[in-house]
């Protein structure tokens, strides 16, 4: 997906670690150059061959469209690329190009190089997002809000706890990605059928030098049809996407007009591009409407709208990830020593998964870095149901005095809650003002003061503060 294409700014957000055709070409060339240097170091090519191939292996010297046409003749882009590269180097260096390799060796090694670069970018963006979540958790540690389960009001929580849950998932995702980056990105070098037979006794030595040259791990043997490394990369990316998607979904719900507990910052878009010559584009003699008048979150039809664009864009990326992961897992069933079709089926979903997770991480860092929290609205929403979210607390209070019967206490408070909803009254007024309930409480020795205390949300936050502190401490320790 071109970075400047129609959807590139949404699904290809961020300039670092991009996963696109130019990035693939660069990684393929880096793999070929690294192999040439390894071959020279092994004494299998004249001195200077590695440097000559590396000098020629620059992406600006290759025509992507032409390589794509050649790929249709051979089933992958490597044969055409290797021939073009050999043509660009001095004749004495040509034997170092693609020496001992099969196309899959270069493709898989490039896939690992590309993954490393994207993961580095994703880790940077996730770190920014996590730090922003940590600031939110610390700032709003004691800011009460209503907790919601099954999309209904439940019991009180704090926004600090919500942000701490986001932070914990982000840090877990970062740890998983870092582990894959460190331990699972390996060079691929096996030759035609994974034996390196064309290199004779030099095969394993060249493989080790190749790994060293490209900065990847050396596996114990080639992994042509063992695709667990691809699945590990994909799974780690999917975990990061899941963490980001959960945050974005929470923000879209909390930003609803009827909830309005958070909202995104609304930076103004840049103005229209001005071509060389200094004049803005025109149509029919009149200047085109400038993007400077477009604000983040605006609607083409409804002037009042302020949509949570960053959160929506995160979800637009992350919703595509499970299907891509499933395709990669399904493609891992590969026959014999080299697969016919399943390996080829990996390339596009793998690329899309890298790109979309990278974009989601960039959007996520922006989303959390500019998230505005409305504590007053949270308090108002918490108070809106007039004590009903504390029904569980009242039930727990009564369970200890109504003959030890948890069910009796639960049923009593449930009936009081139904009466409160039906009459439009606070739960307190029903418990203390309706004879059916007030008499039962009085007979059990429950005082109005105890009921009032049970209905105070401050006293029913449980270990929220401790959880926030623990997550923040873990985050600080993991930096």
> Which residues does residue 302 pair with via DSSP β-bridges, in sequence order?
none
Tokens representing 477 are: 């320790």
Confirm whether 300 is a catalytic residue.
Answer: no
Which residue bears the tokens 């623990």?
A: 470
Helical pair 159-183 and 464-477, crossing angle rounded to 10 deg? 30
CA-to-CA separations, 431 to 146, 246, 409, 478, in angstroms, rounded: 21, 38, 12, 49
Is residue 227 within 8 A of residue 184, CB to CB? The reply is no
- Using CB atoms within 10 A of its CB, is residue 294 exposed (0-12), middle (13-18) or buried (19+)? middle
Of 198, 265, 293, 299, the active-site residue reads 299
Q: Which residues pair with 263 in a beta bridge?
A: 372
DSSP type of residue 287: E
Tell me the C-alpha distance between 99 and 44, whole Å: 9
Burial zone of 112 (CB within 10 Å; 0-12 exposed, 13-18 middle, 19+ buried): buried
Give the Cα-Cα-Cα angle 285, 290, 295 (nearest 5 degrees): 160
Determine whether 453 is exposed, middle or buried from the number of CB atoms within 10 Å of its CB (0-12, 13-18, 19+): middle
**Cβ 165 vs Cβ 470: under 8 Å:** no
* Alpha-carbon span 356 to 237, nearest angstrom: 9
Burial of 155 (0-12, 13-18, 19+ CB in 10 A): middle
Does residue 405 sit in helix, strand or coil?
Answer: coil
Return the sign of the alpha-carbon dihedral for residues 5, 11, 14, 19. Answer: negative
Q: Out of 338, 377, 419, 440, pick the active-site residue.
A: 338
Element holding 120 (H helix, E strand): helix 103-139
Is 103 designated active site? Answer: no
Q: What are the catalytic residues? A: 299, 338
């Amino acid at each position: 997906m071109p970075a400047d294409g129609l959807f590139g700014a949404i699904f290809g957000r961020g300039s670092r670690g991009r996963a696109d055709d130019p990035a693939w070409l660069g990684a393929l060339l880096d793999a070929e150059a690294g192999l040439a240097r390894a071959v020279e170091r092994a004494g299998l090519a004249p001195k200077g061959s590695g440097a000559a191939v590396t000098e020629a292996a620059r992406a600006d010297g290759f025509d992507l469209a032409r390589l794509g046409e050649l790929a249709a003749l051979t089933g992958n882009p490597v044969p055409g690329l290797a021939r073009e590269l050999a043509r660009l180097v001095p004749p004495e260096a040509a034997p170092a190009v693609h020496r001992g390799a099969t196309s899959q060796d270069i493709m898989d090694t490039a896939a690992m190089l590309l993954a490393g670069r994207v993961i580095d970018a994703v880790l940077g963006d996730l770190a920014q997002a996590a730090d922003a979540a940590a600031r939110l958790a610390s700032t709003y540690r004691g800011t009460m809000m209503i907790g919601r389960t099954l999309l209904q009001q439940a019991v009180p929580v704090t926004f600090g706890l919500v942000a701490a849950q986001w932070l914990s998932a982000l840090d877990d995702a970062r740890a998983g990605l870092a582990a894959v980056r460190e331990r699972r990105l390996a060079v691929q070098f096996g030759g035609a059928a994974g034996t390196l037979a064309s290199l004779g006794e030099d095969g394993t030595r060249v493989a080790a030098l190749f790994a060293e040259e490209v900065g990847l791990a050396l596996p114990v043997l080639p992994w042509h049809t063992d695709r667990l490394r691809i699945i590990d990369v994909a799974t780690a990316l999917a975990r990061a996407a899941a963490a980001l998607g959960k945050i974005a979904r929470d923000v879209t719900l909390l930003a609803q007009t009827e909830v309005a507990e958070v909202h995104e910052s609304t930076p103004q878009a840049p103005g229209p591009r001005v071509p060389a010559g200094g004049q803005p584009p025109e149509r029919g003699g009149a200047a085109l409407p400038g993007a400077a008048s477009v604000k983040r979150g605006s609607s083409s039809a409804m002037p009042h709208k302020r949509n949570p664009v960053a959160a929506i864009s995160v979800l637009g990326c992350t919703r595509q990830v499970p299907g891509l992961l499933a395709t990669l897992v399904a493609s891992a069933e590969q026959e014999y020593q080299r697969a016919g079709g399943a390996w080829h089926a990996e390339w596009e979903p793998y690329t899309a998964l890298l790109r979309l997770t990278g974009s989601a991480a960039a959007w996520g860092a922006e989303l959390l870095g500019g998230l505005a929290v409305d504590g007053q609205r949270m308090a108002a929403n918490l108070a809106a149901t007039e004590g009903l979210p504390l029904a569980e607390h009242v039930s727990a209070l009564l369970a200890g005095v109504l003959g030890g019967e948890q069910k009796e206490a639960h049923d009593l408070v449930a009936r009081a809650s139904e009466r409160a909803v039906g009459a439009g009254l606070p739960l307190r007024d029903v418990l203390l003002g309706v004879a059916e309930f007030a008499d039962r409480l009085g007979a059990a020795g429950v005082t109005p003061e105890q009921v009032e205390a049970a209905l105070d949300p401050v006293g029913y936050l449980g270990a929220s503060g401790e959880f926030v502190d623990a997550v923040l401490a873990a985050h600080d320790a993991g930096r």
